[in-house]
Structure 1
């Protein structure tokens, strides 16, 4: 009898799809930017970091209070503001990461061209303290690298598929390839992998849950059981998206749209 119950339990997982996650519109704000870096809200202010004309801006409410640019390093390839006190800008053409504080003042510069052994890095994301998750293109491995001590504390097995995106929290790292989505812990051990169903971008939510983009659609991956649910949003261009404590932000190249995620 117990075997029969288990059989129907697993069948129910296959037959019934994950429930759609609904959204509630909050507001939209006109904005001209190349990329949105982060949005932080409180009862008193809204802090927005964005990149335009290869310059990182910090806007508090409606006033730009800080900015940072480094024309010598060329275009900003990617950015990571998971730690607001250690913002990372990656300049792939020069194989270099710049670390900024919360006032966008430069505190560190990591030039992988002079690191020994040399690292040919294609993707960078934040780690705990002075550590960076970096993807070594020559070895095809994910490394947890301490840029103060020049030591690698964790390393994955070689990845057999082209890397698309890389995101991380202090304790975990997600690596999206053309074949699979991988999650690693801070020791470089694989926690799980999921077949990539045409996903192209990752965004982090809290409790290690993540959002995935496929074409012009968004999906929510719940970490503890690895279920993926579609997110119900209006039809609009998704140039970029991010999520902060249940608030979903979608930039369509003209407006920054804010929605609240509604999860049962």
Structure 2
């Protein structure tokens, strides 16, 4: 009986400690930024944002802009390579690539591809002059070759809609409508990574780690052991967040706050 009581006390104390475990980032800088949408930053310290549907790149007093109002609203931006930025205009089924001074280098209108019709709802930069494209017509993921202007399927038709996606050169990551996380490599190998709680926004950090937002709170989630830890912040409003190089950027309506963050 005594052993049972001791075990019960230890269990309750353990739960208490587990509930109190949090991640506390340290504020580094805060700067003013008035924008309609914040897209993120690169390794050189430039920030990218949209205002009145004009795409901007800014660092201190240095400012570049790209405007193509004929293509409508910018749906997505890929900043993996600052020398080849990818803008996705879903409404016009088009993709634009820009150089580091935001000069237009390529424009793809997939509606003009008569031989292999493409209606894309997800775009990202892949390796070897290719784009990740999710073709909504067959509901398949594939790669689009810049030079050949051809799309090649990598997957069978998806059974569940894509709720969120992100890409790197070698992987396409997505969360389906049931919050299941998957990855697909450039050879077409699909891996189930795990499931995360309900979210408003999410960033996949690796095969095992994600950060997600629900309302105005951030959480770190380990896909391997299915554990979640709150990231405590002093911000009451979070429009968008980005985790990059052990830093956390928080964008609100009028400013960007940069925190140093150490994740498990």
Q: TM-score, normalised by structure 2?
A: 0.82
Aligned twin of 1:12: none
Instruction: Name the SS for the 1:262 alignment partner.
Output: coil
Within 5 A, what are the aligned runs for 1:1-264? 20-40=22-42, 46-64=45-63, 66-115=64-113, 116-153=115-152, 155-179=154-178, 180-205=180-205, 209-221=209-221, 228-263=228-263
- What SS does the aligned partner of 2:70 have? helix
Q: Which protein shows a greater Rg?
A: 2
Structure 2, unpaired ranges of 5+:
1-14
Distance 1:209 1:147, change over 3 A: farther
Q: Secondary structure at the match of 2:197?
A: coil
User: For each residue in 1:84-129, what CA deviation from the matched residue of structure 2 results, as whole angstroms up to 9, or x when unmatched?
Assistant: 1111111111100001111101111111101231111112122113
Number of residue pairs the alignment of both structures matches: 246
CA distance in 1, matches of 2:170, 2:226: 17
Q: CA RMSD in A?
A: 2.6
Q: TM-score, normalised by structure 1?
A: 0.82
Paired with 2:18 and 2:57, the residues of 1 have a C-alpha distance of: 41
Alpha-carbon contact 2:193-2:223 (below 8 Å) kept: no
